[in-house]
Amino acid sequence: MPTNRAKITAHAAIVEQIHDNAVRHEALASLVYPQSRTLNTTEQRKRRRKLIRNRIAGSINAIVNSKFLKPNTGIARVPGVTRSEVQMAMPLKLMALTGNTSTVEYPVLERFEYINEHHILYSEVQNLRTDRLPKTDILWIGNGEIYKSGYRLNIDAEHRIKNFVSQGGVVIVSGQDVKASAKQRRGTGWIPEPLTGIECDETYELFPTLQGKRSRIFQRPNPINGNHNADPNAMDQPLIRLDDMWLDPLGKWTHLAKTNTAAAGLKDGFEDASALLLLPFQKGLYIVTSLKNETEADVKINDKIMENLLHFSVRWIDKRGTVTSGQ
């Protein structure tokens, strides 16, 4: 108290001395009189905008929660509605590696503007040397971008893909063109567990495995069953156009779909090839497909399964809480 009292007394004496002296007042006023805080600095403007956004988001969530959730419990007022379903869904970013061998997939992807309440923000690139990749949630590797008249990825691209998945990203691989007679490098640096691409005849016959049926990837939002000849109930469901398949030599991948080995021309030990596989890796996920998306006619047939793949990926991201685009 004595120290504070002395400071107050000294300050009052200075104010009294400069109050009636114009010269002293002009020279010392900025030091003696309290100054108002300015909001013109960049950092303060950012803080103000962030505060406003948080208040708006908080108000919206409060309104939604009061409508759907009981006070103090978080239990849904409406059966079947969970807390996560009534919160605001963050936008997600999808980057498509495309355009080097085909340009027909990206316009179809862009049609799916909203997936599971998330607004999907799309971008396309022809190489992965971009600082936008770490801020992306889903990487779509287009038709033929890995295999087309040979192995196309360099070591830098391999590293970027694997690092992207390890940090929580989802990679969806469209079909690749593998020539059995071509002398090409069978590169696997983009995946942590090997796959072998094998040349097959084009087919529409898809057989979901037990894991595939449980995943609901062939049901949401579009019921799909490529095995039309053996299942009369599937006659009205969309077709899937498939081409070159994948072998899992070490058995590390989850196989979601097989195909008719005779129709695909699979023999000589290749009968166990798959058309759709999954592999969780650290924080992220690989989804590798055998979709034949080389022409506009192809993607017109496969657009339903493409949409299902996006829904599956977004649901996986929501469950894992690995959204990166907002970071």
Supply the DSSP string of 96-148, one letter for each residue. EE-SSS--SHHHHHTT--EETTEEEEEEEESSS--TTGGG-SEEEE-TTSSBS
Report the pLDDT value the prediction gives residue 165, as an integer from 0 to 100. 98
Neighbour-count burial for 75-108, b at 16+ CB within 10 Å, e otherwise: eeeeeeeeeeebeebeebbbbbbbeebbebbbeb
Quick check: 198 pLDDT over 70?
yes
Quick check: 305 pLDDT over 50?
yes
Q: Rounded mean pLDDT of the chain?
A: 81
Report the pLDDT value the prediction gives residue 23, as an integer from 0 to 100. 63
How far apart CA 165 and CA 281 sit, in angstroms, is: 7
Quick check: 317 pLDDT over 70?
yes
* Strand residues in 191-308 grouped as ranges (E): 196-198, 206-208, 245-247, 254-259, 276-281, 284-289
- Mean pLDDT across the stretch 294-321? 95
Report the pLDDT value the prediction gives residue 266, as an integer from 0 to 100. 65
Report the pLDDT value the prediction gives residue 62, as an integer from 0 to 100. 62
Quick check: 307 pLDDT over 90?
yes
Q: Which of 90, 55, 85, 51 is nearest to 69 (CA)?
A: 85
pLDDT confidence bin for 83, thresholds 50/70/90: very low
Report the pLDDT value the prediction gives residue 24, as an integer from 0 to 100. 63
pLDDT confidence bin for 148, thresholds 50/70/90: confident
- Mean pLDDT across the stretch 61-79? 54
pLDDT confidence bin for 127, thresholds 50/70/90: very high
Dihedral of CA atoms 266, 293, 120, 133 in degrees, nearest 10, equals 80
How far apart CA 118 and CA 45 sit, in angstroms, is: 28
Most confidently modeled range among 8-12, 139-143, 197-201? 139-143
Q: Which of 207, 288, 218 is nearest to 254 (CA)?
A: 288
Report the pLDDT value the prediction gives residue 58, as an integer from 0 to 100. 63
Reported as a single tens digit per residue, the pLDDT across 206-222 is 889 999 999 999 999 99
Report the pLDDT value the prediction gives residue 86, as an integer from 0 to 100. 46
CA angle 307, 308, 313 (to 5 degrees): 100
- Mean pLDDT across the stretch 290-300? 95
Report the pLDDT value the prediction gives residue 40, as an integer from 0 to 100. 58
CB atoms within 10 A of CB 207: 17
- Mean pLDDT across the stretch 176-186? 63
Residue 302 has which token pair? Answer: 């496969």
Reduce the DSSP state of residue 73 to 3 states and report it: coil
- Mean pLDDT across the stretch 227-243? 66
- Mean pLDDT across the stretch 30-44? 59
Q: Specify the DSSP class assigned to residue 175.
A: -
* Higher-confidence position of 79 and 309: 309
Reported as a single tens digit per residue, the pLDDT across 218-231 is 999 999 865 545 55
Reported as a single tens digit per residue, the pLDDT across 93-111 is 999 999 999 999 999 999 9
- Mean pLDDT across the stretch 114-129? 96
* Higher-confidence position of 190 and 66: 190
pLDDT confidence bin for 273, thresholds 50/70/90: confident
Quick check: 180 pLDDT over 90?
no
Neighbouring residues of 7: CB distance < 8 A, sequence distance ≥ 6: none
The residue written with tokens 């063109």 in the block is: 177
Percentage, residues of the chain above pLDDT 70: 64
Report the pLDDT value the prediction gives residue 168, as an integer from 0 to 100. 96
